[in-house]
Chain A
Amino acid sequence: MEFFERFAIPHPSAPIYASMVAIALTIVAIIAGLTYFKKWGYLWREWLTTVDHKRIGIMYLISALLMLFRGGVDALMMRAQLAVPDNKLLDAQHYNEVFTTHGVVMIIFMAMPFIMALMNFVVPLQIGARDVAFPRLNALSFWLFFMGAMLFNISFVVGGSPDAGWTSYFPLAGNEFSTSVGSNYYMIAIQIAGLGTLMTGINFITTIFKMRAPGMTLMKMPMFTWSALITNAIIVFAFPVLTVALAMGTMDRLFGTHFFTTNNGGMDMLWANLFWVWGHPEVYILILPAFGIYSEVISTFARRNLYGYKSMVVSMVLISFMSFLVWVHHFFTMGQGALTNSIFSITTMAIAVPTGIKIFNWLFTLYKGKIEITTPMLYALLFIPLFTIGGVTGVMLGMSAADYQYHNTMFLVAHFHMVIIPGVVFAMLAGLTYWWPKMFGFMLNERLGKLAAWVIGISTLVAFMPMFFSGLDGQARRMYTYSASTGFGPLNMISFVGAIGLAVGFAIIVYNVYYSVRYASRDIGADPWNARTLEWATHSPVPEYNFAIVPHVKSAEALWDAKKKRHILFQGDYEKIHMPNNSGVPFIMSSIFFVWGFAMIFSMWAVAIIATIGIFACMAHRSVEIDHGRYISVRKIEETETKLRGAK
């Protein structure tokens, strides 16, 4: 009995017990459903073992949407708790756990996989490749991310969630002040998911450098591919810092080392420093692919080529380097001198310049364009003013002297939500709507899509604008309640209304998916948006080999010039196509990682050691395994192509 006590929740409440029951019932329902409909074989063959970048992209997408709803429910609970003064909905401990998981889930398990989803699906198609450079590594990336996410998500029903904030600052996150296993979950689950992300970084850099279609020089790549390349370069240089910091934090918590303790030579603030050495580049890891999506969407629906292609590329390269020079602006108030703060204030101002260049390039692309307002375009147009609010308040926060006034208030919370929601979430929704027909072969309903965009756009303002004011009035972030005499009540009530509005917006998107699955036309052709880049040159949905004949590229907008200037993309005859084999090893290895992580979190060393051996066994298996892939015959390609072209 003593053994099982460690899995108990340190701070139970009725909703948590209800969640336990709900999770158990969902698992039973999934298992029963798969058995009843005899889908286990299908699930294993088509999804769990797949190495196809398109299917992996779709699995990333599903995970990201699930996590969006998990993080969204956390957000609603927080806004509900703060809606009125002296609210008793959540107690302090529960509130701490909710804001911690909200942050981690939204950044690491929602925004990251959403970006990975679109990169996985789109980049190989945009460069005319058949898959990524290392398909099996790609599957491993996804499953490591997925297992990390699942491990983190069970924390609130097994052992307790982390409660030290998404930044998990030491010494608060150390053993002395965080006695539950919650912070172990944080350290280990993010570590596992981060390994997957690092592998993706290496994989996509290689893919983009080595697997572009003939004729596509670097300066002829579509802008989204450029942004993916720069993003992955930042991932490769930034994530090792997180890996090391998390490893040191894990050792502090599990093995009694003193990296981040306040005594015995430890340096607690070094955690904050290392966290933000990773954390600030992470901001650009999230925003650059979003900028790439906006570039594609804006040039497609303004019917003009992107203004200032070269300056777009140069500004992204500059951002990639400068994103490593500004991290101290996240903790100006932690005791550095004026000189240090001034240096990082100036670099912070400087990085706004390349970002500004990009904004002006989009405006100049729109200027004199034949603008067509579709759902993705609507998100892009809503993004520009809303993101500017986030950006300008960011410049306010970036002035180190003034930052003492804003630091750790709701002003900061409002700022980064006004950056991340219009910047990243709108871009992901725009990208999702834009590439949806390529993924699934039908379009999402435009009326419902635009309605959702407007509801989400307005609700973002309603939810987050009041926080700027309550923050300036002195409402601290992460405060679980306040008294009526502070006068924060009405502003927080408005925020709560905005949060409900956001929930309604996302509900409309869910309904839109349901509605479009049932009613949307399947007869949309390969290029429903009249777009400009290569992914629209193949069929929708895309056959497993992507392109029957490898395209030959002559310009930056390959498909547009094929349509307008009669460039010929596909020449020659079908040849047999070499494709990678499916493999169950990534899934099995990641499952062992899950067991390893769980054992580490609860200090069950025997299990952890066995799981470690299992992980190495999987790697050894890969080293000795002989797998030359398989070929798709010309006859099979002809059959598929005839079928996909329909009546023609």
Chain B
Amino acid sequence: MKELFPMKQIMGFVFSLMLTVVALAVYFLNMSFAMGMTILVVTAFIQAAVQLVVFMHAGETKDKGAIYTNVYYGVAIALVTIFGTLLTMIWGYN
């Protein structure tokens, strides 16, 4: 029964559809640029995590330690690059 009805994946699918709807709402609703971008960034990161964990099966094999280390390392470097660039090019720029 579990093979026929994989609860985790179906819930994940519904959840990722909801995230898409929320992201899409930014286009249709009237809101400030900052607000819209915040919603897009947050939903994008959650969406990526859902895809990785639920549909790409990260954490279901014995090398899950290596996979998560890799993901966290990648996220850390991405954040450093983005915020470092913002600091250099906009916030800290004379």
Residues of A within 8 A of B (CB): 209, 233, 237, 241, 267, 269-270, 273-274, 277, 321, 324-325, 327-328, 335-337, 339-340, 343
Contact = CB atoms under 8 A, between A and B. Distances in A.
Contact of A277 (B85, B91, B93): B85
- Taking each of A241, A321, A324, which has the highest tally of chain B beta carbons within 10 Å of its own beta carbon? A324
Tell me what chain B mostly uses at the interface: helix, strand, loop, or mixed.
Answer: helix
B24 interface: no
Contacts of A321: 73, 76-77
B92 interface: yes
Contact of A270 (B84, B87, B89): B89
B89 A269 contact: yes
Contact of A328 (B76, B84, B91, B94): B84
Contacts of A267: 89
A232 to B, nearest CB: 12
B81 interface: yes
A269 B89 CA distance: 8
Contacts of B20: none
Nearest to A278: B81
A139 to B, nearest CB: 26
Contacts of B66: 209
Tell me what chain A mostly uses at the interface: helix, strand, loop, or mixed.
Answer: helix
A335 B84 CA distance: 15
B45 to A, nearest CB: 18
B92 A337 contact: yes
B74 interface: yes
Interface of B: 66, 73-74, 76-77, 80-81, 84-85, 87-89, 91-94
- Taking each of B76, B77, B88, B94, which has the highest tally of chain A beta carbons within 10 Å of its own beta carbon? B88
Given A209-B66, A337-B94, A324 B89 contact: no
Nearest to B81: A277
A336 B93 contact: yes
Contacts of A340: 87-88, 91-93
Contacts of B81: 241, 277, 324
A343 B83 CA distance: 13
B65 to A, nearest CB: 12
Given A267-B89, A270-B85, A335-B94, 13 more contacts: A237-B74, A269-B89, A270-B89, A273-B85, A277-B81, A277-B85, A321-B73, A321-B77, A324-B81, A325-B84, A337-B92, A339-B92, A340-B88
Contact of A325 (B73, B80, B93): B80
A136 B92 CA distance: 46
Contact of B88 (A233, A237, A336): A336
B80 A324 contact: yes
A273 to B, nearest CB: 6
A538 to B, nearest CB: 29
29 contacts: A209-B66, A233-B73, A237-B73, A237-B77, A241-B81, A267-B89, A270-B85, A270-B89, A273-B85, A273-B89, A274-B85, A321-B73, A321-B76, A321-B77, A324-B81, A325-B80, A325-B84, A327-B84, A328-B88, A335-B93, A336-B88, A336-B92, A336-B93, A337-B92, A339-B92, A340-B87, A340-B88, A340-B93, A343-B87
A438 B15 CA distance: 57
A26 to B, nearest CB: 43
A237 B75 CA distance: 10
Contacts of B94: 335-337
10 closest A-B pairs by beta carbon, nearest first, are A340-B92, A337-B92, A336-B92, A324-B77, A337-B94, A237-B77, A328-B88, A340-B87, A336-B88, A277-B81
B70 to A, nearest CB: 9
A642 to B, nearest CB: 40
A343 B91 CA distance: 13
A339 B92 CA distance: 7
A201 to B, nearest CB: 13
B7 to A, nearest CB: 32
Contacts of A237: 73-74, 77
Contacts of A209: 66
